[in-house]
Structure 1
Amino acid sequence: MANVFVSTFPFCRTSKVALDLLESNGHKVTVNPLGRKMKPEEVASHAKDFDALIAGTEDLTELVTKTNHLKIISRVGVGLDSVPLDLCKEKGIAVAYTPDAVSPAVSELAVCLIVDGMRKVSYADLEIRKGEWTRPYGERIGGATIGIVGFGRIGKRVASHLLGYLPKEILVCDLMDQTEAIASLSGLAHSIKNVNDTLGKNWSSTSIKQVSFETLLKNSDAITLHVPLTTQTRNLLDHSKFSLMKPKAVLVNTARGEIVNEKDLFEYLKSAPLGCAAMDVFEEEPYHGPLCELQNVILTQHMGSCSNDCREDMEREAAENVVGFWKEEKIERVV
């Protein structure tokens, strides 16, 4: 059986299902002893002599370069930007992930952050803690335009959650033609309108359409990012893009920190005090950067996946990938 190293943090915090699955199948498991996200050199040092790795978002390039033992990497999550796929292929290391389990939790957090940013919930909390009480006014999702950048598993879920708020329109930006998905969601939007009509509310159904990135930036009251980190999406949002946004726009990032240029975001939000950003992910984590100085930024701890049920599902699926690999079974979630 395999020696398995778990680098992701946390792991089996509230449920031991994944750990029990590995051990009941005869695998020896060593869990990240540092109690935090591991640095690349730490992963390489701790895991280079193991047969299997269950990983989070740690950069695995140094590990894959050095190891002569590793047979499989199983990602707890969906993003693969931290895994050197070409090098893994060259060295015969299988890579698997858990693309579906994370979607419910991340999509719900994204909607929560949109509401928080638009209604100034966290800002009001900060005021009370300073002894202030201005009762700040905000904006509703109802009647607003919401932009979704990236319309994959999570982006589609965000759109479906938003429909109940009755936004004026949802603008979608994606490399793929999303006509079919938009048609399906438009049917759901019309059904929601019919329900409200029976309650005496004469509201229009939400319009959903696919547009260019620039059109989305110029017209959205809130923008939420759901694209993978690639060479094309790194620094996708920089000074030139912030300048296109509405002065009061809310930007939500639950995808990857490097998609937003943090230095440019800091300068933009200093000069646009009515705007707001909600950041769940950062270039370097844990985050201790200058965005902490601003009151119009909501900062969370890369916790998009951190609901008890989704974490259990993600960890269990990552463990299933390892167990299935060693049993020489077909792995459904292999990359």
Structure 2
Amino acid sequence: MSKKVFVSTFPFCRTSPNAMDLLVSNGFQVTVNPYDRKMKPNEVAEAAKEFDALIAGTEDLTPLVKVTNTLKMISRVGVGLDSVPLTLCKEKGIAVAYTPDAVSPAVSELAVSLLVDAMRKITYSDREIRKGEWTRPYGERIGGSSIGILGLGRIGKRVASHLLGYLPKEILVCDLMDKNDEIEQFSSLSSNMYKMNESLGKNWNPTVIRQVDFETLLKESDAITIHVPLSDSSKNIFNAKTMSLMKSNAVLINTARGGIVNEADLYQMLKEQKISAAAMDVFEEEPYKGPLCDLENLILTQHMGSCSNDCREDMEREAAENVIGFFGGGSKVTFAPEY
């Protein structure tokens, strides 16, 4: 009897049928999220409780794992595992896999795009024109600024490499791990860029890259971009108290996870102009419909960090390959670090 796979993530195979074709050609029966939106936890639990495998997005899977007696494998389309109850999965013998590399190019590019947008007030200017206004707002450049990166993992490192081309004064890295080796590599790259541009008559200094603690990151950064997973230690780490340490002209970018930034506190900080601007791609409750929508100095996007055609196709294909590899006894399965 063929194995049954439920796909809860949305979207799935929007631009390419490759992942679906892989599953079907390997004998799996596939049922896809029927809602055309992110499923709620109870909806996932009800729909997938009798399936053998789940291809999941960021839905909270705790209710499903609690009630299922048939599920053997969860394959996450993406890198974050905060929505997966890993301890409970271990207790019930449910394997967990993910796709940690495919997402990085798309998320890192979106983060830098939002950084430029927020600092230069691009979306704000677009809104003015649509209202018949024309103030030509001034903004800040990445070049010459201090840019903070919270989390120098797969995505954070790509962000740092993109930023070097903008010639920031410094990149401040905050991470629980010692990142001296990575920082040395980036410093060498910055020096080589300096030498190359010096020969062209450019008048600038190499970017300084240094690791700092969280308080220093808050106080000295002109912009901060977040690239850490949601955990007990990172939940609400950006709150009224910590954001009050940021510069008044600073911007905050979150393409990581909802819940890392306290949304109510962010609303007050932006409304009272205690920080200049922010961009949020992720929210505690999605789709988002809350009061942040009323703010002009905030850019809102639809948890679309992974949503480039190529990266999304790679993520879906790798998630399907994890399912096929697991049930086929093959070695091509990227299990979660805890497994």
Shorter chain as normaliser: what TM range?
Answer: over 0.9
Partner Cα distance (2:15, 2:65) in 1: 30
Between stretches 196-205 and 3-12, larger displacement belongs to 196-205
The alpha-carbon deviation at position 27 of structure 1 amounts to 0.5
Contact 1:321-1:331 at 8 Å conserved across structures:
yes
SS class of match (1:258)? coil
Letter in 1 for 2:193: I
Contact 1:44-1:62 at 8 Å conserved across structures:
yes
2:173 matched residue in structure 1: 172
Contact 1:96-1:333 at 8 Å conserved across structures:
yes
Q: For 1:55-80, what per-residue CA distance to the aligned partner results, in whole angstroms no more than 9, with x for missing partners?
A: 00000000000000101000000000
Contact 2:172-2:217 at 8 Å conserved across structures:
yes
The alpha-carbon deviation at position 272 of structure 1 amounts to 1.0
Partner Cα distance (1:242, 1:284) in 2: 21
Contact 1:273-1:296 at 8 Å conserved across structures:
no
Q: For 1:108-146, what per-residue CA distance to the aligned partner results, in whole angstroms no more than 9, with x for missing partners?
A: 000000000000000000000100000001111000000
SS class of match (1:154)? helix
The alpha-carbon deviation at position 330 of structure 1 amounts to 2.2
Letter in 2 for 1:270: K
Letter in 2 for 1:37: K
Contact 2:251-2:275 at 8 Å conserved across structures:
no
Contact 2:161-2:186 at 8 Å conserved across structures:
yes
The alpha-carbon deviation at position 274 of structure 1 amounts to 5.9
Letter in 2 for 1:144: S
In the superposition, the TM-score normalised over structure 1's length comes to: 0.99
SS class of match (1:128)? helix
The alpha-carbon deviation at position 273 of structure 1 amounts to 6.5
Partner Cα distance (1:34, 1:175) in 2: 39
Gaps of 5+ in 1: none
Contact 2:7-2:55 at 8 Å conserved across structures:
yes
The alignment of Structure 1 onto Structure 2 pairs a total of residues equal to: 335
Asked if 1:189 corresponds to 2:190, the answer is yes
Gaps of 5+ in 2: none
Partner Cα distance (2:3, 2:262) in 1: 41
Partner Cα distance (1:261, 1:139) in 2: 25
Letter in 1 for 2:87: D
**What is the root-mean-square deviation of aligned Cα atoms in Å?**
0.8
Asked if 1:245 corresponds to 2:243, the answer is no
1:306 matched residue in structure 2: 307
In the superposition, the TM-score normalised over structure 2's length comes to: 0.98
Contact 1:143-1:166 at 8 Å conserved across structures:
yes
Between stretches 244-253 and 193-202, larger displacement belongs to 193-202
The alpha-carbon deviation at position 329 of structure 1 amounts to 1.3
1:297 matched residue in structure 2: 298
**For the structure 1 residues 59 and 273, does the alpha-carbon distance in structure 2 shift closer, same or farther, using more than 3 Å as the test?**
same
Q: For 1:170-189, what per-residue CA distance to the aligned partner results, in whole angstroms no more than 9, with x for missing partners?
A: 00000000000000011111
Q: State the identity %.
A: 71
1:51 matched residue in structure 2: 52
Partner Cα distance (1:117, 1:155) in 2: 18
Asked if 1:8 corresponds to 2:9, the answer is yes
Asked if 1:318 corresponds to 2:294, the answer is no
Letter in 1 for 2:57: G
2:149 matched residue in structure 1: 148
Partner Cα distance (1:288, 1:268) in 2: 19
The alpha-carbon deviation at position 49 of structure 1 amounts to 0.5
Q: For 1:197-230, what per-residue CA distance to the aligned partner results, in whole angstroms no more than 9, with x for missing partners?
A: 1211121000000000000110111100000000
